[in-house]
Amino acid sequence: MSLLTIGTMAFDDIQTPFGHAEKVIGGACTYITWSASYFTNSISVSSIVGHDFPDAEIEALKSRGADLSGVEVKMDGKTFFWAGKYHDNMNQRDTLATDLNVLDDFNPILPDSYKACKYIMLGNLTPAIQAQVLDQLDGSQKLIALDTMNFWMDIAMDELKKVIGRVDLLTINDEEARQLSGEYSLLSAAEKIHEMGPEYLIIKKGEHGAMLFHKGKIFYAPALPLALVKDPTGAGDTFAGGLMGYLAKTDDTSFENMKRAIIHGSAMASFCVEEFSIDKLKTLDEEKINARVQQFKTMTDFSL
Amino acid sequence: MSLLTIGTMAFDDIQTPFGHAEKVIGGACTYITWSASYFTNSISVSSIVGHDFPDAEIEALKSRGADLSGVEVKMDGKTFFWAGKYHDNMNQRDTLATDLNVLDDFNPILPDSYKACKYIMLGNLTPAIQAQVLDQLDGSQKLIALDTMNFWMDIAMDELKKVIGRVDLLTINDEEARQLSGEYSLLSAAEKIHEMGPEYLIIKKGEHGAMLFHKGKIFYAPALPLALVKDPTGAGDTFAGGLMGYLAKTDDTSFENMKRAIIHGSAMASFCVEEFSIDKLKTLDEEKINARVQQFKTMTDFSL
């Protein structure tokens, strides 16, 4: 089934205890699309880049089967740029620079061929732009997923809640779930968030895994413990890409299949963090992915 | 099989966002023994209390089948007292008072009948006292487990490492595993800690569950998300008690059975935090425990 991915394509400058990656490829949409491309080659991408974004990166995504006709190339502007530095524990980071550049003019006009995509992944963006994308869809969608962050809760909570009310699946982290709901217990937070609209909620907990909430049911997926985490940037987007790619491939939104989708998303995220930027995501294949998915099964399986 | 539990019996004063429990029953050994008592009635307890410790609490433990002949009652002293206040997020707490009282004189002399216990749970105590208990065992043990905390790593690391080198199973939290090993990655930390001696390592992650490491194998048990956590005090001890009680009951230290033991320990801990002190632990039965264990299975189960 067809998947539409929307979000940023960017240059990142990333400092972690393991090195400094200068002006490397980043952006939510980039990670989402690379990750999803291992599950489906029917991906339509909506984003914006400047004159400085490498053609080779566009071609690399096209060679994965993605349709990039909805990616605007603004020749008089520069690509969105983000610089960040991770603390020693890798769980916290400081933003050193955010240059919106062409992102300031992002006005996604979907090509007609995009509007009937069955699976939609709205990457982290201003809620207004996420709503604008939803306005253009033809209403035939099977599952619309939205990712967001605390920044929008701080400055645009009302707008954010409106767009959350229009989607089927929300992915946020635990602190964001608490902020959005006003509840500390994730169980109570999930109840409140379901009332806002999404019947599926995924709470991401980084190195502690992810939890799926749906109609009173809970699934807890661990993260894979790794010997080396070089760069956590894009892990959440890679997770979302694997999840939505798997759903688009299998075209099954049952709770049981959603669990499998989360495990596949978690496996993709575990690859992502092992190298800077999208370096590791470019090197995968079905065999490597399946082997890692099996590790999740082995790690959580028990009989009573 | 017989289980020996060693640790503090105490009065606690606990403040959480949900209330203030003054001079309630606490102590690692109390939590461990209550928890284990739902799995085996062959428990030998070694601890120390003052003249002020309620007889009714001693009798309550005896009525669970525990042998308390190894609990010294020091009539000229007061019971160990700890006061703490939890922050709003319940993950952090400040210690307001620690009155060692009779604990300062704790010199555990095991009754002869204790020395051949097959399963040993050394609750958090000074490493010297933990070693003193080990010295008295007859060498026929099947599994010796030790719990400790960062405090002993700060002030008695060498002694602690020596006693860790004598046990089969170490239970610590994630920050303590990092401090003990000098490794940030839990995978690398586990490798280092195995080299210190214990062939089983359980890293407790509070609301994020627990991980078991053994000969390159990993098991990840989640914590149960709860609508209300009233008082986290004793959760780790209750976990250890359920784990060791289950092992003593089943007398099987295979990796597969250790997984089941961890799930049972996690279920017991999930009850513990729902009320202050040992209040909830006093109200359980096999049916309630099995129902909760089944929730863990449901929450983690998936097919590929």
DSSP states along A177-199? HHHHHS-SSHHHHHHHHHHHS-S
Q: Which of B125, B112, B148 is CA-nearest to residue B48?
A: B125
Q: What residues pair up with B74 in beta bridges, in sequence order?
A: B50
Band of residue A299 on the pLDDT scale cut at 50, 70, 90? very high
Q: Residue B1, CB half-sphere, CA atoms under 13 Å: how many?
A: 19
Q: Residue A284, CB half-sphere, CA atoms under 13 Å: how many?
A: 28
Which of B89, B183, B208, B217 is most worth mutating to test chain A (most A CB atoms within 10 A of its CB)?
Answer: B208
The answer to whether B256 contacts A302, with C-beta atoms less than 8 Å apart, is: yes
- What SS3 class is residue B49? strand
Q: How far apart are CA A244 and CA A152, in angstroms?
A: 23
Mean pLDDT of A228-243: 96
Q: Which residues contact A262 (CB under 8 A, 6 or more apart)?
A: A202, A210, A212, A219, A221, A243
Q: Which residue of B has its CA nearest to A221?
A: B300
Write down the pLDDT at residue B256: 98
Mean pLDDT of B283-302: 97
Q: Is the pLDDT of residue A92 over 90?
A: no
Q: What residues pair up with A146 in beta bridges, in sequence order?
A: A122, A170
Q: Measured between beta carbons, which residues in chain B are less than 8 angstroms from residue A260?
A: 302-304
Q: Which of B186, B219, B260 sits opposite A299 (nearest CB)?
A: B219
**B interface residues, A as partner, C-beta within 8 Å:** 88-90, 184-188, 205, 208-209, 211, 218-222, 225-229, 256, 259-260, 263, 293-294, 297, 299-300, 302-304
Q: Measured between beta carbons, which residues in chain A are less than 8 angstroms from residue B256?
A: 302-303
Write down the pLDDT at residue A32: 98
Q: Which of A89, A222, A304 sits opposite B222 (nearest CB)?
A: A222
Higher pLDDT, B58 or B184: B58
Q: What is the pLDDT of residues A13-35, one digit of tens each?
A: 999 988 999 999 999 999 999 99
Q: Measured between beta carbons, which residues in chain B are less than 8 angstroms from residue A188?
A: 227
- What SS3 class is residue A172? strand
Q: Order the strands of the A19-26 sheet from edge to edge.
A: A19-26, A10-16, A80-86, A93-99
ipTM: 0.91
The answer to whether A294 contacts B304, with C-beta atoms less than 8 Å apart, is: yes
The verdict on pTM exceeding 0.90 is yes
Q: How far apart are CA A272 and CA A279, in angstroms?
A: 8
The answer to whether A205 contacts B208, with C-beta atoms less than 8 Å apart, is: yes
Q: Which domains does chain A have, with CATH numbers?
A: 3-298 (3.40.1190.20)
Q: What is the pLDDT of residues A188-198, one digit of tens each?
A: 999 999 999 99
Q: How far apart are CA A253 and CA A63, in angstroms?
A: 28
Name the pairing type of β-strands A217-221 and A210-214: antiparallel
Task: Check residue B241 and give left, alpha or beta (phi > 0: left; psi -120 to 50: alpha).
Answer: alpha
Mean pLDDT of B256-274: 98
Q: Is the pLDDT of residue A89 over 90?
A: no
- Please say whether the beta carbons of A241 and A34 come within 8 A: yes
Q: What is the pLDDT of residues B68-87, one digit of tens each?
A: 999 999 999 999 999 999 99
Write down the pLDDT at residue B91: 76
Q: Is the pLDDT of residue B89 over 80?
A: no
